[in-house]
């Protein structure tokens, strides 16, 4: 499905100006196949404009770029899949017919297009609604359908703008699992989301934009990303630090009743061992917050 050689995206000094406004300002970065690049930034930072440039929807004012090994707009459109944040759907068209139509646009025969549409509906959990009009779909279901449409042409590079928007927790988990599966299969994925825990879970590379410029460009694969905030009685602080040290973890004292501990990204067992170790040592816990992350702090620092 994916046979792309590195890198999947090359952006060199990309700039897009609208009059005196620099929506994208001298942006350079690369993205690799088989990796997920998280494109972050506050509202108005230039994320959507950058995606529009890289998918050949709009022309850059200056700079160069390649996507999936080409800079030709028509070739790029044939090699990428895009899920925009907001997208219109024909309300009276059945989901299967919508995907069949899009597959035919990419040159698939009717039988191949039908098979592809059916496979994608199964992949995004919409098989039972294949024949239903899209107008009867919830926002989350339309989001799943949009993801299926983005995969119709078996793209080498995927641009996903808020792919879990409108989904319930189970739906979010399914979509993130699918993104990981596509990454493992070799696709290059650019993901934007305001939910930093999602970015932290699936991304190997972070690019943060601020006022159209790159504020941070960093590979995150293998980093210790989760920070656990622990609140204790002042008399228990030293004992808590001892327990953390005995477990081989790194702690930072932030006050006389609070410390932060680094736990490997995705290491659920580490969280359980830490919690049980503190409880077994008789430490009275006032707080055990495992939702903090290095990414949150990094984002706030980069866009300050």
High-pLDDT (> 90) share of the chain, %: 52
pLDDT at residue 14 tops 60: yes
181 or 26, higher pLDDT: 26
Identify any residues that bridge with 9 across adjacent strands, giving them in sequence order. Answer: 31, 67
Confidence of residue 221 (pLDDT cuts 50, 70, 90): low
Identify any residues that bridge with 189 across adjacent strands, giving them in sequence order. Answer: 36, 158
Its pTM stands at 0.76
Domain presence at residue 2: no
What is the reported pLDDT for 300? 62
Domain presence at residue 1: no
Q: Among the listed ranges 123-137, 175-189, 214-228, which one has the minimum average pLDDT value?
A: 214-228
Total of domains in the chain? 2
Q: What is the mean pLDDT of residues 111-123?
A: 96
What is the SS3 assignment for 42?
coil
Domain presence at residue 3: no
Q: Closest by alpha carbon to 137, among 166, 174, 169?
A: 166
What is the reported pLDDT for 301? 65
What is the reported pLDDT for 171? 83
Q: What is the DSSP letter of 131?
A: T
User: 171, 9 in Cβ contact below 8 A?
Assistant: no
CATH number assigned to the domain comprising residue 246: 3.30.70.100
| Same domain? 215 vs 233 | no
What is the reported pLDDT for 224? 47
High-pLDDT (> 70) share of the chain, %: 88
What is the reported pLDDT for 291? 61
| Same domain? 140 vs 249 | no
166 or 137, higher pLDDT: 137
CATH number assigned to the domain comprising residue 199: 3.40.50.300
| Same domain? 190 vs 81 | yes
Q: Give percent helix, percent strand, percent coil of the chain, each to the nearest 5.
A: 40, 30, 35
| Same domain? 22 vs 154 | yes
| Same domain? 289 vs 215 | no
| Same domain? 71 vs 138 | yes
Domain presence at residue 4: no
Residues 27, 39: Cα–Cα separation, whole Å: 12
Domain presence at residue 128: yes
User: 155, 147 in Cβ contact below 8 A?
Assistant: no
Q: What is the DSSP letter of 166?
A: T
Among 185, 219, 253, the domain-final residue is 219
| Same domain? 59 vs 196 | yes
pLDDT at residue 140 tops 70: yes
What is the SS3 assignment for 40?
strand
* Residue where the block lists tokens 């210790």: 224
Confidence of residue 2 (pLDDT cuts 50, 70, 90): low
Domain presence at residue 163: yes
What is the reported pLDDT for 139? 85
Q: Which domain holds residue 240?
A: 226-302
Confidence of residue 92 (pLDDT cuts 50, 70, 90): very high
Among 187, 219, 251, the domain-final residue is 219
Domain presence at residue 202: yes
What is the reported pLDDT for 267? 52
Q: Cite the DSSP H helix spans in the chain.
A: 47-54, 73-79, 95-105, 110-123, 139-150, 169-184, 196-202, 237-246, 268-280, 294-302
User: 203, 37 in Cβ contact below 8 A?
Assistant: yes
Confidence of residue 246 (pLDDT cuts 50, 70, 90): confident
What is the reported pLDDT for 202? 86
Residues 24, 91: Cα–Cα separation, whole Å: 34
| Same domain? 97 vs 234 | no
Cis peptide before 269 (omega within 30 of 0): no
Domain presence at residue 144: yes
| Same domain? 15 vs 124 | yes
- Mean per-residue pLDDT of the chain: 87
Q: Among the listed ranges 60-69, 178-187, 252-261, 280-289, which one has the minimum average pLDDT value?
A: 252-261
| Same domain? 151 vs 262 | no
pLDDT at residue 46 tops 80: yes
| Same domain? 242 vs 203 | no
pLDDT at residue 223 tops 80: no
pLDDT at residue 284 tops 80: yes
114-122 long-range contacts (CB < 8 A, ≥24 apart) are 116/152, 117/148, 117/152, 120/148, 120/149, 120/151, 120/152, 121/95, 121/96, 121/148
Among 219, 249, 281, the domain-final residue is 219
Task: Give Cβ neighbours of residue 244 (< 8 Å, ≥ 6 apart).
Answer: 250, 251, 259, 261, 274
| Same domain? 204 vs 241 | no
């Amino acid at each position: 499905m994916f046979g792309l050689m590195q890198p999947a995206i090359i952006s060199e000094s990309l700039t897009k100006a609208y009059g005196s406004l620099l929506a994208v300002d001298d942006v350079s970065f690369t993205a690799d196949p088989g990796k997920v690049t998280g494109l972050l930034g506050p509202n108005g930072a230039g994320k959507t404009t950058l995606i529009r440039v890289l998918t050949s929807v709009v022309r850059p004012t200056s700079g160069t770029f390649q996507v999936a090994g080409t800079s030709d707009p028509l070739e790029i459109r044939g090699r990428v899949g895009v899920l925009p944040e907001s997208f219109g759907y024909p309300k009276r068209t059945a989901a299967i017919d919508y995907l069949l139509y899009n597959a035919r646009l990419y040159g698939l025969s009717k039988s191949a297009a039908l098979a592809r549409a059916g496979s994608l509906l199964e992949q995004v959990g919409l098989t039972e609604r294949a024949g239903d009009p899209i107008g009867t779909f919830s926002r989350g279901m339309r989001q799943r359908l949009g993801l299926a449409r983005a995969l119709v042409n078996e793209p080498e590079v995927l641009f996903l703008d808020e792919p879990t928007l409108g989904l319930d927790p189970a739906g979010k988990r399914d979509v993130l699992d699918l993104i990981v599966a596509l990454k493992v299969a070799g696709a290059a994925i650019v993901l934007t989301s305001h939910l930093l825990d999602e970015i932290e879970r699936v991304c190997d590379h972070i690019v943060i934009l601020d006022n159209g410029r790159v504020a941070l460009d960093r590979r995150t694969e293998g980093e210790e990303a989760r920070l656990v905030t622990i609140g204790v009685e002042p008399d228990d602080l030293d004992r808590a630090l001892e327990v953390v040290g005995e477990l081989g973890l790194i702690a930072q004292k932030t006050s006389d009743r609070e410390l932060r501990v680094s736990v490997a990204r995705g290491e659920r067992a580490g969280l359980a061992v830490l919690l049980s170790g503190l409880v077994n040592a008789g430490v009275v816990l006032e707080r055990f917050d495992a939702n903090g992350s290095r990414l949150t702090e990094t984002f706030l620092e980069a866009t300050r």
